[in-house]
Amino acid sequence: MRDTHSDWPHDKIRSASLAYIRKTCGERGRLAFTRLDALPERLARIVQLDPGEHSVVNCFIDAQRWYVMTTGRIFGWPAALDSGCSPLDVTQWRWDDFKHGGRSEVEVATFSLANGTHLRISYETGHAAMAPIYYERFWTIKYPILDKLE
């Protein structure tokens, strides 16, 4: 597990991950539940971010179906509510049927963690699903070469 404090490059991760997500997915109009970057007040009341940590992509469907993916952790209800888990600890990301014919519906993703546990989150399907999926791709493709990105 990595340290989320002063030595973690939150600002660089925020900048690089948001640029990657926006370049790949764009921002097509207003999505029903999914937001890039800013953490809505209702989620800020639930999730306590560390100093310097930033929300990258988040989704609030209702009180039992939400997630926050940050520059260092993934939170979801109820399993990762307290402290979240590091995206570096995710060994497999499963998105189920994220397309739904382009319609915005709700689906469940399952993330397998290195310690043998799983985190399940509800997410918005259709075009909105591209944001958390490209968050995953950032961590698996771009993060390993973060120091080379500029």
- Quick check: is 80 in a domain? yes
Indicate whether 99 belongs to any domain: yes
Range of the domain at 33: 10-148
Domain membership flag for residue 61: yes
Query: Residue 115 falls within a domain, yes or no?
Result: yes
pTM for the model:
0.88
Does residue 3 form part of some domain?
A: no
CA-angle at 26, arms to 91 and 46, nearest 5°: 55
Please state the domain count of the chain.
1
How many percent of the chain have pLDDT more than 70? 85
Query: Is residue 41 in a domain?
Result: yes
| Band of residue 2 on the pLDDT scale cut at 50, 70, 90 | very low
Per the domain annotation, does 5 fall within a domain?
A: no
pLDDT tens digits for 74-92?
998 766 556 789 999 999 9
Evaluate whether residue 53 is within a structural domain. Answer: yes
**Alpha carbon of 15 to those of 23, 82, 148: distances in Å?**
12, 26, 14
